[in-house]
Amino acid sequence: MCFYKKMLTFVGFNIYATNSIYMIDSSAFQGKKAAYYTLGCKLNFSETSTFARLLQEMGVREAAKGETADLCLVNTCSVTEVADHKCRQAIHRMIRSNPGAFVVVTGCYAQLKPEHISAMDGVDLVLGANEKANLISILSERWSAVGNASDGHLHEHYSVKTKDINSFAPSCSRGNRTRYFLKVQDGCDYFCTYCTIPYARGFSRNPTIASLVGQAEQAVADGGKEIVLTGVNIGDFGKTTGETFLGLVKALDGVEGIHRYRISSIEPDLLTDELIDYCAQSRSFMPHFHIPLQSGSDTVLKLMHRHYDCSLFAGKIKRIKEVMPHAFIGVDVMVGSRGETPECFDETYAFLEGLDVSQLHVFPYSERPGTSALSIPYVVEEPEKKRRSRLLLDLSDRKFHDFYSRFVGSEAEVLFEKAKRGRAMHGFTRNYIRVELSPNDSLPELDNQLIKVRLGDFNHDNTSLKATLL
């Protein structure tokens, strides 16, 4: 109980807090085992890791392989129909593997389809986007009620309408990784025609800069050296508090002990020249950007209700490369959206081919119920989506190989992550080149250390550059 009071004070905002959290009796959690399954984005993984840490503080340990868990938590995604299907599979699999467990489902799919999920055999609680912030207090209250359920499961769901989602569940966690993931923003106000995320996550909201600096300082105290800033639309930071994303970046840059920050993804229209220029001379913000394009056709961008055109996007890439020539730039591309005629796809391919970017993250368009994209008449058939995806993935491979090749023979500083005994160790350079250290050189003491290396040729599967210690 004391831990939660301490955490709420530390985080520095009350946007998600309820009085019930102070009344939790941790004895109900003592000695319990939990299993976790996460689908979707880095934000989901960060939130799950935070849930696990909070439960651990209450006396719940993670179930070891082969153990039956007392509590199962599934954090879901709903970005595509395939994601929905994977969520249902994961829930069923968790229930089968952990008979009698108390099953909680949260995340985007839980917000969009709470009634459907709660009716599934073996499900106890479904928590929407607003309610997951109070997972511990709700779980404490409802777990004890399961004995009164006719079939041994509650089948309850808690969610509110999109307009009423206003809570913010803080998250700064590393899970089993070296890098920390700091949630700086949630929700989205853009309502692109193909996307359900605003309905699943609510409108844009954020905590204060001061609270996020405090969480970064705590990461330093825990031994963290690198933090990835996560959110749904992080460039929109500040709507809740009247602050700015650039202000956040400058404040975090001043946290001593954090050597590296990475911006997970930022919309091109929110990637200001001021932000680019600041990152170029920053102490700790890396030359690494992930920018969603979605389409290289202005016609399709208008149909998507995106907030930029190809000219603006190309200008941002040019600006980055002018001040950070070695920067890694990843680009999201959606293939086969409604309205993407063969001519529009050809425009996209030509546009991407001419961009100085490092990697393409290609994914096929998936129709989502309730989205306005369904009113666009031109439909791309699945075989054609696959063909277009293959073309762009091949283009991505070439760009990735060309970018990595520029650095063969150079020196770099790498933050290594621990490896299993006898396995190669991996890490990333400042500009996000994945590096592989041979098993013979992969010593445990190199974990979470910044090490100077010389970059060699590609490894066996062309996913990393081999490295030798200097």
Q: Which of 261, 286, 311 is the last residue of a domain?
A: 286
Q: What is the mean pLDDT of residues 144-159?
A: 85
Whether the Cβ atoms of residue 34 and residue 62 lie closer than 8 Å to each other: yes
Res 246 pLDDT > 50: yes
As a whole number of angstroms, the distance between CA 89 and CA 355 comes to 39
Specify the CATH number for the domain of residue 396.
3.30.750.200
- Same domain assignment for residues 400 and 431: no
- Same domain assignment for residues 9 and 146: yes
What dihedral do alpha carbons 338, 339, 343, 345 form, nearest 10°? -40
- Same domain assignment for residues 98 and 220: no
| Tally of domains within the chain | 4
- Same domain assignment for residues 81 and 145: yes
Structure confidence by residue, pLDDT tens digits, 35-51: 999 999 889 998 999 99
- Same domain assignment for residues 20 and 143: yes
How far, in Å, are 74, 156, 232, 288, 291 from residue 260 at the CA level?
30, 42, 21, 11, 19
Which pLDDT belongs to residue 175? 65
Specify the CATH number for the domain of residue 108.
3.40.50.12160
Q: Which of 286, 311, 328 is the last residue of a domain?
A: 286
Q: What is the mean pLDDT of residues 426-439?
A: 97
Within 8 A by CB and 6+ apart from 201, the residues are 108, 111, 129, 165, 186, 187, 188, 232
Residue 355's CB: how many other CB atoms inside 10 A?
19
Res 25 pLDDT > 80: no
- Same domain assignment for residues 128 and 184: no
> What is the domain extent for residue 75?
2-160
Res 3 pLDDT > 60: no
Q: Which of 129, 160, 191 is the last residue of a domain?
A: 160
As a whole number of angstroms, the distance between CA 173 and CA 224 comes to 10
Q: What is the mean pLDDT of residues 193-197?
A: 94
- Same domain assignment for residues 19 and 154: yes
- Same domain assignment for residues 194 and 325: no
Within 8 A by CB and 6+ apart from 325, the residues are none
Res 149 pLDDT > 80: no
How far, in Å, are 63, 336, 342 from residue 90 at the CA level?
17, 27, 36
Q: What is the mean pLDDT of residues 275-281?
A: 98
What dihedral do alpha carbons 378, 312, 294, 202 form, nearest 10°? -100
- Same domain assignment for residues 10 and 153: yes
Res 66 pLDDT > 70: yes
- Same domain assignment for residues 172 and 273: yes
Confidence tier at 273 by pLDDT (50, 70, 90): very high
